[in-house]
């Protein structure tokens, strides 16, 4: 995992910071790119809402916030480009339905991410990582989840549980961007130094939280529609399909945070930033 870009500036009272990270994980390599706070969302029914540039004390992580139960209607999984795109788009729609009320409750903006399944895509964060470096990644600059088709099918094959967990993790990075957690963390990593012990711990806190957010979604969809209890349980077990490294932490910690999200069903349970260092080692 390496920070490929770090930029900070101030314009029109909006702080911009960019941290582009691609990292390996368990043969299914994931990445996150975080950029500026997303545009302010306005409606005629509610006041202007903005991301909160906070991590552990972010309003999204307050007590009493969780994902509502949803019923997902996923199409038949297929390896062809249009079949895979339709499957992922349907999963994103389910994740939108689950996460929107939680962000609304925290008075935070919401917007659905874009999806790109092209091989060797051009991204708003610069060149995509090679196929052996990243199976899927999120770019905050264009708010897009990238899942190159050939790479993901080689890594995850047709195991729907793995695809569900993988997308839940990347969508978790999108939630971090919307809430302001990703921007606040990226600024802290830049200040500490990406390769420093403190910087690496911050990166682990962000990645482990994305695992927890994935677990939250799996729980919200479990046992209803096409996300059967068996599929959900298999998706949770897939948290074990990982490797230990300095950007994701020890395997027990990776499994613990993903499982906590699934079992505790509260965003407060995903507050990796207030956890002791031993739990994010």
Each residue of 80-95: pLDDT tens digit? 999 999 999 999 999 9
* Confidence (pLDDT) at 128: 81
Q: In the chain, pLDDT over 70 holds for what percent of residues?
A: 82
Give residue-wise pLDDT tens across range 189-214: 999 999 999 999 999 999 999 999 99
Q: In whole angstroms, what is the distance from residue 79 CA to residue 203 CA?
A: 33
Q: Alpha helix (H) ranges present in 34-140?
A: 81-105
Record the tokens describing residue 238, joined without a space: 């897939």
* Confidence (pLDDT) at 70: 97
Mean pLDDT computed over every residue of the chain: 85
* Confidence (pLDDT) at 135: 85
Length of the chain: 281
The confidence band for 243, taking pLDDT boundaries of 50, 70 and 90, is confident
The model's pTM is 0.85
In order, the DSSP letters of 33-44 are: EE-SPPPPB--S
Record the tokens describing residue 151, joined without a space: 């790479």
Phi, psi of 6 (to 5 degrees): -140, 120
Closest Cα to residue 67, out of 270, 227, 220?
220
Sheet of 2-11, strands arranged across: 2-11, 14-23, 30-34, 136-139, 144-146, 114-116
- Do the bridges between strand 30-34 and strand 136-139 make them parallel or antiparallel, or are there none, so unpaired? parallel
The confidence band for 242, taking pLDDT boundaries of 50, 70 and 90, is confident
């Amino acid at each position: 995992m390496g920070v490929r870009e770090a930029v900070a500036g101030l314009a029109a009272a909006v702080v911009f910071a960019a941290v582009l990270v691609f990292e390996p994980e368990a043969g299914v390599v994931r990445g996150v790119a975080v950029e500026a706070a997303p545009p302010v969302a306005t409606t005629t029914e509610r006041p202007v809402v903005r991301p909160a540039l906070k991590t552990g004390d972010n309003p999204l992580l307050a007590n009493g916030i969780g994902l509502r139960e949803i019923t997902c209607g996923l199409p038949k999984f297929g390896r062809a480009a249009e079949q895979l795109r339709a499957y992922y788009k349907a999963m994103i729609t389910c994740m939108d339905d689950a996460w929107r009320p939680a962000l609304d409750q925290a008075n935070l903006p919401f917007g659905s991410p874009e999806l790109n399944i092209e091989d060797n895509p051009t991204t708003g964060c610069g060149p995509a990582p090679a196929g052996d470096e990243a199976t899927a990644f999120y770019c905050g600059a264009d708010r897009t989840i990238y899942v190159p088709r050939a790479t993901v099918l080689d890594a995850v094959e047709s195991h729907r549980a793995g695809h569900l967990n993988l997308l839940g993790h990347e969508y978790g990075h999108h939630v971090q961007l919307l809430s302001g957690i990703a921007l606040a963390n990226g600024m802290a990593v830049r200040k500490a130094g990406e390769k420093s012990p403190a910087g690496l711990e911050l990166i682990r806190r962000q990645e482990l939280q994305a695992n927890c957010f994935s677990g939250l979604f799996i729980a919200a969809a479990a046992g209803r529609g096409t996300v059967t209890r068996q599929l959900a349980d298999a998706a949770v077990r897939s948290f074990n399909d990982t490797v230990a490294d300095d950007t994701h932490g020890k395997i027990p910690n990776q499994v613990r945070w993903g499982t906590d999200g699934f079992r505790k069903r509260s965003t407060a349970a995903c507050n990796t930033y207030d956890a002791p260092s031993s739990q994010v080692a």
